[in-house]
Structure 1
Amino acid sequence: MIDLYYWGTPNGLKARLFLEEAGLEYRIVPINIGKGEQFAPEFLKIAPNNRIPAIVDHAPSSGGEPISLFESGAILLYLAEKIGRFIPSEIRGRADVVQWLFWQMSGLGPMAGQNGHFNVYAPEKVPYAIDRYIKETARLYGVLDRRLADREFIAGEYSIADIACYPWIVPHVAHKQNLDDFANLKRWFETIRARPATVRSYAETADAYAPSSTPMSEESRKILFGQSAAPKQA
């Protein structure tokens, strides 16, 4: 059994999508990040960066005590190695998957995340920031589109590189991107969206970056975006 500490953000959905694809037994432990549950002492013992997702694997392949992990990329690598799927065992294929996983972690996720923040959540519109992140998101879409020009999936076979990237393409409308401008990316996106594991993962899960008719409360805004180096009181 794996405990998945989860909220329906793109990073949270990466871990859930893997678990559904792998058919691993898991239990969702909801962490409502808008209410500050990510600062609970028991969660910080697992995820000291106070971010979801995190997991606790109660049956690690090596046996022994449960293993806890935070950071979505580390979780995907760990789980892929645990079951021997979604990452090649030979060195070249593995390196290919890992480099695209890191590309998502260092580029697509952070840039699309800032895009979503300034387009959806920021209390005031900052034209320079909005333009900056829309353009950088489009540039990254172009990188992925070119990569997919001659292959079905990012590293050939379906892998954790695809699982990591897909949830960050889901909010393309909120991120001011038109998939019709990226034919290869659109084909890839539609292929993954139709997978049964994807359908199960996104059932009743709203787009975290979709504009909401209910404005974010000031309290939630401070919880999500007002953190500093000072420790938050539990």
Structure 2
Amino acid sequence: MTLRNVLPMLVAIFGMASAGNAGMINTIIGNFDIAFDGQTGEITDFNRPDGGNLLPAEARTFSSLEIEVDGISEEMLMNPPDALWGDLKITNLGAELATGSLQNNVGGSGNPTAYGFDYFDGNGNNLRIGIDDISYTVVQTGLPGLNFFNFFAEGKVISQSLPGGWEYGEDVLLSYSATEVMVLSGQTGVRSLVASGVMTITGNMIPEPSSLVMMVLGSAASCCFRRR
């Protein structure tokens, strides 16, 4: 078998190996506190309005980080002993958040690669995601502290260095869900909100390069051996 015959086969095998190894990653961030302030029209990590610089003074600690790959837990960090921070900013949401129904594609800067959410820790791991607009729901029950807040957004990975060497593709989906929510009502909606909930970041995994190379070479060698 000549090199000319082998090259197309290698390209095809590489494509199949990439598809076969690509999986789904979920990064699950527990007990992350956020706030909405109608005076600024922003959702940020609680009591930390500045950010985007991977600085603990500008970020909020959270309790745990878990990385799942295809539904299997692969990495788990707990605070303590690990120092874990989250840094969030979503802008241009107006003076009040609407309640009851789903609000689609609101807020944002118009730049999908602008700073939106950062995770970082004391071990040098980090994940930086650009967020433009979000979709959200606020549900008030009338009982103190028993309200619901959820949002989700499409994001772009700006940079990453995840525990265990896992790696996202460029596009991810962020979702946040909280049942511990305190609100101050405005004229027609909510003018202030504080919540503690779970942030989940979901996206396709970039296959590990070394595993792809080994699969390609192994498959090519097997094919060549059978032909001979």
Q: TM bucket by the smaller chain?
A: under 0.3
Computing the radius of gyration from Cα coordinates, the structure with the larger value is 2
Calculate the TM-score normalised by the size of structure 2.
0.19
Using the size of structure 1 for normalisation, the TM-score is 0.19
Structure number having the greater strand percentage? 2
